[in-house]
Every structure is written in C-alpha cells, then in structure tokens.
Amino acid sequence: MAFTEAQLIAEADPAGTARTVVFDNFIPVGTTLTDVYAVGVVAPYAGRSRWVQLSQTRTPAQAWSDVQAALA
C-alpha cells in the first residue's frame, strides 16, 4: 500500500506543529520508491537533513521510522 505525503507528515507530526521534521521534497520515483528530503527542526533531529529513499511498500509508520533512522 502506497503512503502519501500527508500520511507521512501526519505520522511524523501528529500534533500538526510542523516542528519535528519538515519534508521539503516528496518525489515519487516510479511506482515503488519515493525520495524525501527531511529537515530536522527540534532535538534529536535539529540541524540534520538528509535525502531518504523510501519504499512504497512500507506503511506510513514504517516510512517515518526509516526517516528517523536516517536522521539519527
């Protein structure tokens, strides 16, 4: 099941504060991958940014875990 940008944002920031991690880019690559550019805003991700390639077979929660691991 493919996740959407809105689902990933909701998983990363359920309170809707736009303060944990900001996704500057959300780029589908074909039908199976999505590249996101994640920028950390608050600890423990503050000052960190990365391109992360996510599989569209992941759930939004799993994709968020992948982003967290990349920013760690």
Name the residue among 12, 58, 51, 13 with its Cα closest to residue 35: 51
> Do the beta carbons of residue 45 and residue 21 sit within 8 Å?
yes
Q: pLDDT by residue (tens digit) across 45-62?
A: 888 999 999 999 999 999
How many beta carbons lie within 10 A of that of residue 23, not counting itself?
Answer: 17
What's the whole-model pTM score? 0.88
Cβ atoms of 33 and 53 closer than 8 Å: yes
User: What pLDDT score was predicted for residue 1?
Assistant: 60
> How is residue 50 annotated by DSSP?
E
